Amino acid sequence: MSALDSLAASTVVVVDTADLDLLSRWSARDATTNPSLIRKAAADPRYARLVAAAVSGSADVNDRLDALLVAFGVQILQRLPGRVSTEVDARLSHDTEGTLRRARALMARYAAQGVPRERVLIKIAATWEGIVAARMLEAEGIHCNLTLLFSFAQAQACAAAGVKLISPFVGRITDWHRLQAGGAWDAEQRRGANDPGVQAVRRIWYDYKQQGVPTEVMGASFRDLDQIAALAGCDLLTIPPALLDALAASDRAMPRQLDAAQAGPAIDPLPPVLSQQDFEQCMRTDRMATEKLQEGVRLFSADTEAVLSQLAAA
């Protein structure tokens, strides 16, 4: 049994790519995309016809962007049995109304292609404004994937909002702690279950299980197989192609590490309602989460701008 098969026994494997030619390589159920992956795929000559067909109907670059996102999403869903995560324009991460408009527009495009709502997750940055938008979208039956999630406070707010799925960023959390430690970082000591990013996801996952929160937890942003192995048993893990290949080529056992039966009684009660004041206070005191959220929004926005430049010239 390969490590990938072993992992799939306890965790739903999700492929983190917009490269359509790679999707059939692994037995993944779902796929995630983001502005960086779409930018790379849109510039690939293999997908020139898909891009041209998607953007031919409008001169507005924002409409072209949404058409392109849905075009890739539809193609992904033709190759995988589950769901695709499609991200709202990252430049709207602090704009609730703007996020709502674009999310509804994306779902309308999917509906026009005959794609059922349950096969699409609208991906939104886990800012306060994004979480508020997600709460409203979920009430409309539009399911959301809250991304760029780095803190327990973000996870609590998402649970209170009734979000379908969250994507805590394992690797980026660890990157921050490694950078802060500098030469004092002990890679062996902080491996696996001692990895800061792994610990963050474990805390969220066990708290959700203790509280009976139905929100799915999907670990994301992995750097190595040790991080993946330490989170076997998580609801879902979205993994990039290079690490999926490494898992498929390895015979390493991936036994379940997260077990709901071991969650125990509730420790951290979730707030019954969203509180902007509490959320913002928690974020102010969590430098890592604040810095990584700001950085993620900035980088995804830059990639969105790059895609828009490509589409303007198409």
Q: Which residues of 153-185 are buried (b: 16+ CB within 10 A; e: fewer)?
A: bbbbbbbbbbbbbbbbbbbbbbbbbbeeeeeee
Closest by alpha carbon to 66, among 74, 55, 78, 50? 55
Phi/psi-derived region of residue 217, left when phi > 0, alpha when psi is between -120 and 50, beta in every other case: beta
Q: What is the largest CA-CA distance in the chain?
A: 57
Can you give the pLDDT at residue 273?
A: 61
123 is catalytic: yes
Give the span between the Cα atoms of 304 and 47, in whole angstroms: 18
Whether pTM > 0.85 for this model: the answer is: yes
pLDDT in tens, the chain (314 residues): 999 999 999 999 999 999 999 998 998 999 999 888 898 998 899 999 998 888 887 788 899 999 999 999 999 999 999 999 999 999 999 999 999 999 999 999 999 999 999 999 999 999 999 999 999 999 999 999 999 999 999 999 999 999 999 999 999 999 999 999 999 999 999 999 999 999 999 999 999 999 899 999 999 999 999 999 999 999 999 999 999 999 999 999 999 999 998 888 776 665 546 789 999 999 999 999 999 999 999 999 999 999 888 888 76
**What is the bridge-based pairing of β-strands 165-168 and 30-32?**
unpaired
Catalytic option among 40, 123, 209, 292: 123
Residue 313's pLDDT is what? 78
The CATH code belonging to domain 3-312 is: 3.20.20.70
Query: What integer pLDDT is reported at residue 163 of this predicted model?
Result: 97
Parse the chain into domains and list their residue ranges: 3-312
pLDDT of res. 267: 67
